[in-house]
């Protein structure tokens, strides 16, 4: 199905959900309960907000959750769960299911631009938020359309010929060493692109953000360089490898390795760079000067040089790595 917004109308979240807080559960308490089947929902904007699974729950499932500590990330929680601090709960006043929940979470996440560390969302703001949704003939939300649309996105499960037991173990910590990112990569900063210069097109525009790998839209422009086969770091430390062609704005640094390394090695380094993401936020943004002193740990050879061969073979040993092109 293709999205058709002609019949979409504005709806207020508070008219269709009861918005409330969740009971805060400490991770130390969950560890005592032990690993289990119930998600532990936090304010992180990855992995559906889930930071682990334990033998304890405080909240019923089939609800939406929104973090009120960072950028208002919304997710659908199908199962009973427990939660960290600053996780708000949207309990439906209608017959919600997983398909409608996933559709609504995607729509609500489009409102994240309103929030930041300096302007966190709260329960009142969530209730008053206006979103555009497909509308039925009686001007109510068209739940059936939302469900059918999400169902139309289903595809075959991804398969892999590599078994998990075949994965290489990570090297002992004493066989890793520190390297300055600026010594391993040349870098260039993207250029500010105003709305007037963003003509609808087919090339991804990369900006700061984790969702959708920071892709803000697809454009054509002749005022900035077209990049490809680069690692990018945004102002919050979010790091991705982009084999495809893309434009990027001035919140992005595009990295080119000074050594000849392949896609597998680049993906290994991306993971190492993302491990440092916690250092950066709205209050301390990642800038060009930071790359010169940014240090990451990598596996090393007996000569103390980055072990590119090991990094490549480690990624190749992981399940689904046979799908990397």
> Which of 92, 118, 151 is the endpoint of a domain?
151
The whole-number pLDDT of residue 282 equals: 66
Among 103, 130, 151, the domain boundary falls at: 151
- 21 CA to centre of own chain: 23
Tokens 């405080």, residue located: 58
Q: Show the tokens assigned to 248.
A: 């990027």
User: In the prediction, which pLDDT does 41 show?
Assistant: 95
Closest CA to 96 of 72, 121, 63: 63
Contact 70, 43 (CB under 8 A): yes
Do 59 and 128 reside in the same domain of the chain? yes
Measured at the CA of 98, the angle between CA 97 and CA 102, to 5 degrees, comes to 120
In this predicted structure, what is the pLDDT of residue 128? Answer: 94
Query: What 3-state class would DSSP assign to 291?
Result: helix
pLDDT tens-digit series, residues 75-134:
999 999 999 999 999 999 999 999 999 999 999 998 877 776 567 789 999 999 999 999
Structure letter (DSSP) for residue 149: H
CA distance linking residue 129 with residue 226, whole number of Å: 37
Q: Domain range holding 203?
A: 164-323
Shared-domain flag, residues 18 and 135: yes
Strand partners, 45: none
Q: Kindly state whether residues 176 and 281 are assigned to the same domain.
A: yes
- Report the candidate in 172, 151, 18 with the shortest Cα–Cα distance to residue 97: 151
Q: Helix 98-108 and helix 143-151: axis angle, to 10°?
A: 100
The answer to whether residue 156 sits within a structural domain is: no
- pTM value is 0.63
Q: What's the confidence (pLDDT) of residue 193?
A: 84
Q: Please indicate, yes or no, if residue 159 is contained in any of the structural domains.
A: no
Q: Where are the beta strands (DSSP E) in 31-79?
A: 35-41, 50-54, 63-67, 74-77
Same domain, yes or no, for 36 and 141?
Answer: yes
Distance from C-alpha of 52 to C-alpha of 236, rounded to nearest angstrom = 24
Q: Are residues 33 and 56 located together in one domain of the fold?
A: yes
Task: Give pLDDT, residue 118.
Answer: 63
Contact 31, 53 (CB under 8 A): no
Angle of helix 263-274 relative to helix 308-316, nearest 10 degrees?
A: 90
Q: In what order do the strands lie in the sheet with 215-220?
A: 215-220, 199-206, 247-248
* 114, two tokens: 């309103």
| Residues 139 and 219 both lie in one domain | no
Of 151, 173, 208, the last residue of a domain is: 151
Could you list the pLDDT tens digit for every one of the 325 residues in the chain? 778 788 899 999 999 999 999 999 999 999 999 999 999 999 888 889 998 999 999 999 999 999 998 778 999 999 999 999 999 999 999 999 999 999 999 999 988 777 765 677 899 999 999 999 999 999 999 999 999 999 998 777 778 888 776 678 888 878 999 999 999 999 999 998 887 777 888 999 998 888 788 888 889 888 889 999 999 999 988 999 999 999 999 999 999 999 999 999 999 999 999 988 878 766 788 888 888 889 999 999 999 999 999 999 999 999 888 888 7
Structural domain tally of the chain?
2
Asked whether residue 41 is domain-assigned, the answer is yes
Q: What is the pLDDT of residue 111?
A: 85
Closest CA to 185 of 92, 128, 311, 270: 270
């Amino acid at each position: 199905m293709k999205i058709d917004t002609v019949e979409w109308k504005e709806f207020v979240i508070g008219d269709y959900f009861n918005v409330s807080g969740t009971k805060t559960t400490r991770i130390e308490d969950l560890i005592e309960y032990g690993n289990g089947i119930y998600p532990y929902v936090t304010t992180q904007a990855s992995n559906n907000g889930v930071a682990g699974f334990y033998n304890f729950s405080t909240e019923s499932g089939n609800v939406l959750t929104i973090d009120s500590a960072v950028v208002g990330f919304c997710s659908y929680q199908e199962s009973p769960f427990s939660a960290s601090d600053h996780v708000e709960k949207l309990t439906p006043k209608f017959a919600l299911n997983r398909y409608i929940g996933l559709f609504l979470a995607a729509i609500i996440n489009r409102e994240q631009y309103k929030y930041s560390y300096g302007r966190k969302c709260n329960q009142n703001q969530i209730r008053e938020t206006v979103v555009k949704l497909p509308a039925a003939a009686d001007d109510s939300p068209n739940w059936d359309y939302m469900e059918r649309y999400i169902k139309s996105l289903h595809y075959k499960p991804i398969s892999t010929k590599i078994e998990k037991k075949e994965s290489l173990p990570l090297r002992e910590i004493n066989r890793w060493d520190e390297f300055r990112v600026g010594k391993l990569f040349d870098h260039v900063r993207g250029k500010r692109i105003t709305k007037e210069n963003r003509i609808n097109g087919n090339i991804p525009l990369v900006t700061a953000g984790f969702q959708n790998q920071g892709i803000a839209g697809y454009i054509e422009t002749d005022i900035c360089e077209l990049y490809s086969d680069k690692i990018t770091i945004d102002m919050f430390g979010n790091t991705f490898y982009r084999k495809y062609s893309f434009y990027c704005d001035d919140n992005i640094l595009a990295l080119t390795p000074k050594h000849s390394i392949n896609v597998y090695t680049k993906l290994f380094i991306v993971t190492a760079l993302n491990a440092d993401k916690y250092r950066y936020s709205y209050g301390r943004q990642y800038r060009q000067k930071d790359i010169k002193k940014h240090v990451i740990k990598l596996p090393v050879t007996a000569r103390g040089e980055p072990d590119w061969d090991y990094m490549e073979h480690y990624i190749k040993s992981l399940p689904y790595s046979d799908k990397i092109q």
